[in-house]
Structures are given as C-alpha cells and as structure tokens.
C-alpha cells in the first residue's frame, strides 16, 4: 500500500469515527430532554438562583432532595447539563497553596427561564418556563412520540398520541384533570412570556382597539396582561367549558364557554395565540372564517392577530426549534407548523385580503390578518 492510499484510508476511518460520534449524539439526543426535566424536578435552577446566582457542588448537595446513595451522581448530571448550555461551570481553586478544585455552577440565559418568579427584566412579569418543560417532556408526550414510526406505516387515521393512549390529545386533556391542569399551567406560563414581549415590542397593534377576544385563551393569562397594559380594551376569553370551569373572575376579563369551531364572540380584534398550529389546514380555514365573522369594525382596522410559527428563520437554532415543534404537532395533533406560503393559502381560503408578518418572537411571529 503506497503512502497516498494509506492517507486516504486514514481519512476515511477518521470520517467514519466522526460519523459514529454524530450518530451517538442523535441516538442519545432524547437524554438532553430527560436531563432537562430532571433539573426542573430537582429544582436545580431555583437552588442556584437562591444561592446568589452561583452554587458549588457541595452547596447544591446541601439543598437538593437527593437520596444519600445518589449524591455521587449529581456531578455527572451537572456535567451533562453544562455540556449543552443549560448551566455554566467555573472551576474554583480552594486556598492559595492547594491544587484542590471545586466546580461552581451558574445560570445561563436558558436556565434563567426555569427559575420561579424571574422576569426578563425589571419591568416584566413572571416568565418561568418550568411547567412548559414538564408538559412537553411528560411520559404522555414522550410515549406518543415512540409511536411515530408505527403510525407512519399505518392507515390508522388517529394521531400517534391517540395510538399510544386510546383517545386524541384534546379528548385526553378533557378527561384527565391532573394533566389538564398541568397543560393549562404550562400554556399560561408561555402566554406570560410571549405577551410581555408583544406589549413592549409592538404595542402599536393595539392602537384604536376597543375590544379583543382571546380564542383558546385558557385561564386568561394573555388577555389579563393585555387588559392590564391597555385598560381601554375590553378583553374576553373563549375556551371550552372544562378549561374555564372554576377560573376565578376579577372583572378584568370576561370568560365565555364555547367551541371556536362553531362560535367566536364579536370583538374588534380576535387573538389566536399558538392555536392554529394544533389544527389541519381545513380546520384552520373553518376557525378563521368564524373569526372573520366575529370582527366588528371591518372597515376601521378590525383584524385577527395570530401568534404562531412561520417556518424559515435564518437562525439555524430557531429553525431547528420550529422544525422540532412541527414533529411535536405531528405526534400530538392533526396540526403542523407552516411556512408563509401555507399561511397565505389558508388566509385566502378563509376570505381575508391581506396580512403582515412581524418576526419579533423568536421561534414564533406575530401576524396581523385583515378582512
């Protein structure tokens, strides 16, 4: 074998070994989600925050609810979480003459989102996303995703979630009170996160608006924040009876029980926050048609405001998040994440004339749609 052939073989072997490493990263990628959920369940972000924003390994061991025979596992978990950016690790030397070192862990922008009661800045409300993580990395959703391969080769009209659990996602949330409560709490935390940015970054979309109905608005977190920021707007929330049942009323927001497929209360603005991605194109046209009928001042700026994904971000990380959510929708619902051309098509079919997309929400965008 000559030197050139030997170099080619070495390069091929190096590429194979690199490919195997990448394959392992993809194969075990699900463990990132599991480790993230574990960090939330243990309360690691809160523990670091309570310790002034950084905590050594002994300090974490002194506060986390670990079994005595599992304490040695914490450094391994933390090393893994640090490796993909959930926490930051600094190595601190103890004393001036010793070589003993200890790890000190700090929050990153990602893990700050998992701390109870932290806002994005001093002017924003609670934006903790821990419950959202617990919903998305629940046994119910992870179990459903394991059915994706069987579902794709089956003529069954059910979703992978339905295949795994015997009923579709919405029926399940309606029947399982514990999961429904967790799901609604997770969606409310997401609403707090989004509405803070909307209010501060594009308040102009609410200029001249006298009334707004938040369709599928759950416990009213989004509508209440809008009503607080813009007291001149009368806000309503439409959702299914089991969702709004028992929701405390404070006079700021009025709750209406109903099905958006059949009825949407009249208002200047109809808001759909992370709703349409749950539904097929045909259902979206049906929902948007109801919304169009509900707009009261069509000649004076009445509109539908949609907060949802528009696939195609120039950021690779945001694009990956968008595509990941698309597979999540394939697993749980009949919906999907859409490119602009998909949105354009359903807007036209629902009878709307024009729209404007504002890509100000990272993974999602704010879309104004006019009749």
Quick one: the chain helix, strand, coil %, rounded to 5? 50, 20, 30
Q: Are 102 and 92 in contact (CB under 8 A)?
A: yes
- DSSP SS3 for 255: strand
- DSSP SS3 for 215: strand
Strands (E), 250-325: 253-257, 269-273, 303-311
Radius of gyration of the chain (CA): 24
Strands (E), 151-302: 211-215, 234-239, 253-257, 269-273
d(CA 298, CA 318): 34
- DSSP SS3 for 235: strand
Tell me, yes or no, if 175 is annotated catalytic: no
Q: Quick one: how far is CA 247 from the chain centroid?
A: 23
Q: Which listed residue (49, 165, 192, 277) is catalytic?
A: 277
Measured over all CA atoms, what is the biggest interatomic distance in the chain, rounded to whole angstroms? 85
Active site residues: 277
């Amino acid at each position: 074998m000559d030197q050139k052939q030997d170099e080619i073989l070495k390069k091929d072997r190096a590429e194979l070994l690199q490919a195997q490493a990448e394959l392992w990263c993809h194969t075990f990628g699900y463990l990132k989600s599991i480790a993230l959920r574990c960090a939330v369940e243990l309360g690691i972000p809160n523990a670091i925050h309570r310790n002034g924003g950084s905590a050594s390994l002994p300090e974490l061991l002194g506060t986390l609810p670990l079994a005595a025979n599992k304490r040695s596992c914490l450094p391994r978990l933390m090393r893994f979480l640090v490796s993909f950016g959930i926490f930051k690790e600094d190595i601190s030397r103890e004393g001036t003459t010793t070589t003993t070192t200890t790890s000190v862990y700090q929050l990153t922008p990602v893990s700050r989102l998992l701390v109870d009661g932290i806002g994005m800045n001093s002017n924003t409300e609670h934006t903790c996303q821990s419950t959202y993580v617990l919903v998305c990395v629940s046994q119910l959703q992870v179990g459903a995703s394991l059915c994706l391969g069987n579902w794709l080769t089956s003529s069954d009209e059910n979703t992978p979630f339905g295949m795994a659990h015997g009923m579709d996602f919405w029926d399940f949330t309606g029947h399982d009170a514990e999961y429904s409560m967790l799901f609604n709490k997770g969606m409310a935390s997401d609403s707090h996160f989004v509405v803070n940015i909307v209010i501060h970054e594009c308040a102009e979309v609410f200029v001249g608006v006298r009334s707004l109905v938040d369709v599928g608005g759950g416990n009213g977190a989004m509508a209440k924040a809008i009503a607080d920021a813009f007291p001149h707007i009368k806000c309503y929330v439409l959702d299914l009876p089991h969702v709004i049942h028992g929701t405390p009323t404070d006079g700021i927001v009025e709750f209406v029980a109903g099905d958006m497929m059949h009825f949407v209360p009249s208002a200047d603005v109809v808001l759909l926050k992370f709703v349409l991605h749950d539904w097929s194109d045909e259902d979206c046209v049906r929902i948007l048609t109801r919304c169009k009928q509900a707009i009261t001042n069509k000649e004076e700026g009445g509109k539908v405001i949609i907060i949802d994904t528009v696939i195609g971000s120039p950021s690779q990380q945001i694009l990956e998040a968008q595509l990941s959510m698309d597979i999540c929708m394939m697993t749980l619902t009949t919906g999907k994440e859409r490119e602009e051309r998909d949105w354009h098509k359903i807007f036209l079919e629902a009878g709307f004339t024009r729209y404007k997309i504002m890509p100000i929400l990272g993974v999602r965008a704010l879309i104004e749609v006019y009749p």
